[in-house]
Structure 1
Amino acid sequence: MSFLVVESLVMTYGVLRALDDVSLTVKEGEFISLLGPSGSGKTTLLMSLAGFNKPDAGRILLDGQDITAKEPEDRDFGFVFQGYALFPHLTVAGNIAFPLKVRKWDAARIKARVDEMLSLVGLDSFADRKPRQLSGGQQQRVALARALSFGPRVLLLDEPLSALDRMLREQMQTELRRLHRETGVTFLYVTHDQQEALTMSDRIAVFEKGKIVEEGSPARLFKSPTTRFVAEFLGENNFLRGSRSNGQWHGLGTGFSLPETRDSGGDTDAATLWVRPGDIAFGPGGDGDITFTATVEDFVFGGTQNRLTLRLPGGESIAALIAADLAAEGVLGQGLTFHARPEAVGVLR
């Protein structure tokens, strides 16, 4: 039996269908990211799971028990808000202890648990500080410790890292993965940051206009998306015209074959091909690679990788991320040879 099941959830606000027949199955101990642009329904689903929203239709099951109508305090779910929501008048220890006092734990048990959580998030020496005396990353750790303190079966996180700068956000991503591994709690994590979802998740559910349009492992969704929306939203991508005839694909200004994992067979007058900028390399490549020529229209220095805009013979423009040993001098306006591996080119029929 699945641990947490969402069945055909519908949530409407007037004429807006915020959740449109959403279904999702979660295994115990999974780290699942709900990924999508603003207004796509991911936070609405999280709020419904928490019990803050009551859906118009559908069910939420935990261990086979229907919890759709249960109040938030009866669900045994932890929640980490985007703005931390710490109590400013309480110390770090007081914030962590708060949900334990609400549950009427005895003083000795609370003290032991608070000490355990402080150690877990690396804030042992900050127990007596107030939230205003902490950095953003430290406040986020307190919020996580508080949400995990009572041993929830599920932890719901609503874009908890969005207010942090890039370096601190990356550090906290590592911390979240560590906490997930060490606690074994099921994490459902809302984000609009594609890299965040790819880095941390066991599985990603991609939202668009109130629906889950695709779900799977980060590697599967990134390497083999089945919808244009996911291919476009989950990492940068190039899209170009393609066609298939006599067993061969045509695109990138040349003809080529694709492996069976990419090519479902059958001739087609037109299809959309995609190839990610990082999968395009400079030079003719080796046997089996797709080799093509293109004119360099733009060159942007990027440190370890430079960003090139390439004009294909048919007039289409694509982006390429090329190793830094290729310099701008002498390549702008030039027709050069590039290549890509066949397994890096996808087809959207």
Structure 2
Amino acid sequence: MSFLVVDSLTMAYGPLKALDDVYLTVEEGEFISLLGPSGSGKTTLLMSLAGFNKPNSGRILLDGLDITAREPEDRNFGFVFQGYALFPHLTVTGNIAFPLKIRKWTPARIRTRVDEMLALVGLESFADRKPRQLSGGQQQRVALARALAFGPRVLLLDEPLSALDRMLREQMQTELRRLHKETGVTFLYVTHDQQEALTMSDRIAVFEKGKIVEEGAPTWLFRSPKTRFVAEFLGENNFVRGIRSNGVWQGFGASFSLPEARDPGGDTDAATLWLRPGDIDLGPGGEADISFSATVEDFVFGGTQNRLELRLPGGESIAALISTDLRAKDVLGQNLTFRARREAVGVLR
């Protein structure tokens, strides 16, 4: 049996099912992101795992033991809140020591552990400061140190980076990956940020309307989604109508075959083809590529990548992210040739 099992968990608020028969397995030491839009059920599941919510049905198993009815303090789970929830009247040292005092650790043991956690998160020189004297990133490190201090079996994180600016958020993503690797603690991380989930996770569970609609490794979900919701939610995507006849696809204003691993087979007039903007490049392709023509209707400068809005011959609009050094006046209104690798095209039935 897996280390942590969410077995057919259901939770309703009146007629609304916040969790609808959710099943998820977690191996010890994994980093799993619970990804989905607001109201999809991911935070409700995290709160249920923490013991703050009591599900209507289903079980939560830890090492094969049913902990569904256990109180939060009896689960040995750490929790990092979205707003940090630090005690403003306590110093950094006091905040980290708080859960250890609750567990009646000896003063000597507490001092040793606090020093270890300060070193782990790089805050040794900030030990005597109050939360108001810290930056957002430093406060987040204190919250992480406090949640990890007592050695939890599982660390639950509820959108902990959402209040940080982009650059600091990216730095903290690196920090979280390092902490996960160094501590070996199982992480369950709630986010609505696709890039966070792709960057940090061993696996991603994608939520929609109280259900896990797909779960798997980030690369697999990004490159081989089974549903349009996941194909669209996990990074920007282009969708066009495709028809397959005698092994040849018609789509993007071109005719082409797909690799066996990408082609579901059979003839259909109801398939949707998808292609991510970053997989489109300018210029004619080779044998391994699909080549198509499109008119450039808009150009947005993005530094290392420029965004082009394209109109296909059939009238469909798609976007492309082109790294080539382009100028708007050279491409706007032009009918140009573009290419994409065949294995970058996906099919949704």
Q: TM-score range by the shorter chain?
A: over 0.9
The one-letter code of the counterpart of 1:284 is P
Instruction: State the match for 1:141 in structure 2.
Output: 141
Query: What SS is found at the alignment partner of 1:125?
Result: helix
Instruction: State the match for 1:224 in structure 2.
Output: 224
Distance in 2, matches of 1:124 and 1:330, equals 55
Tell me how far 1:193 sits from its aligned partner. Answer: 0.3
1:175 aligns with 2:155: no
Q: Which runs of 5+ in 2 are unaligned?
A: none
Distance in 1, matches of 2:225 and 2:206, equals 11
Q: TM-score, normalised by structure 2?
A: 0.99
- Where do residues 184-223 of structure 1 align in structure 2 (5 Å cutoff)? 184-223=184-223
Q: Which runs of 5+ in 1 are unaligned?
A: none
- Where do residues 206-285 of structure 1 align in structure 2 (5 Å cutoff)? 206-285=206-285
Query: What SS is found at the alignment partner of 2:320?
Result: strand
Distance in 2, matches of 1:247 and 1:177, equals 44
Distance in 1, matches of 2:61 and 2:18, equals 20
Runs (4+) off by over 4 Å = none
Q: Deviations over 1:282-329 (max 9, x none)?
A: 000112210011111111111111110110010000000112422222
The one-letter code of the counterpart of 1:330 is D
Distance in 2, matches of 1:134 and 1:325, equals 41
Report % sequence identity.
Answer: 85
Query: What SS is found at the alignment partner of 1:329?
Result: helix
Instruction: State the match for 1:72 in structure 2.
Output: 72
Instruction: State the match for 1:299 in structure 2.
Output: 299
Bigger mean CA deviation after superposition, 260-269 or 231-240:
260-269
Instruction: State the match for 2:326 in structure 1.
Output: 326
Instruction: State the match for 2:161 in structure 1.
Output: 161
Distance in 1, matches of 2:62 and 2:107, equals 31
Q: What is the total number of aligned residue pairs between the two structures?
A: 349
Q: TM-score, normalised by structure 1?
A: 0.99
Tell me how far 1:15 sits from its aligned partner. Answer: 1.0
Query: What SS is found at the alignment partner of 1:54?
Result: coil
Query: What SS is found at the alignment partner of 2:70?
Result: coil
Query: What SS is found at the alignment partner of 1:299?
Result: strand
Q: Deviations over 1:233-271 (max 9, x none)?
A: 000000010010011011000110000111021111220
Distance in 1, matches of 2:325 and 2:185, equals 45
The one-letter code of the counterpart of 2:293 is T
* C-alpha contact (below 8 Å) 2:264/2:347 kept by paired residues: no
* C-alpha contact (below 8 Å) 2:37/2:208 kept by paired residues: yes
* C-alpha contact (below 8 Å) 1:303/1:324 kept by paired residues: no
Distance in 2, matches of 1:132 and 1:283, equals 54
Distance in 1, matches of 2:9 and 2:327, equals 53
Distance in 2, matches of 1:348 and 1:159, equals 31
Distance in 1, matches of 2:322 and 2:37, equals 29
Give the superposed CA RMSD: 0.6
The one-letter code of the counterpart of 2:242 is G
Bigger mean CA deviation after superposition, 12-21 or 286-295:
286-295
Distance in 2, matches of 1:323 and 1:90, equals 49
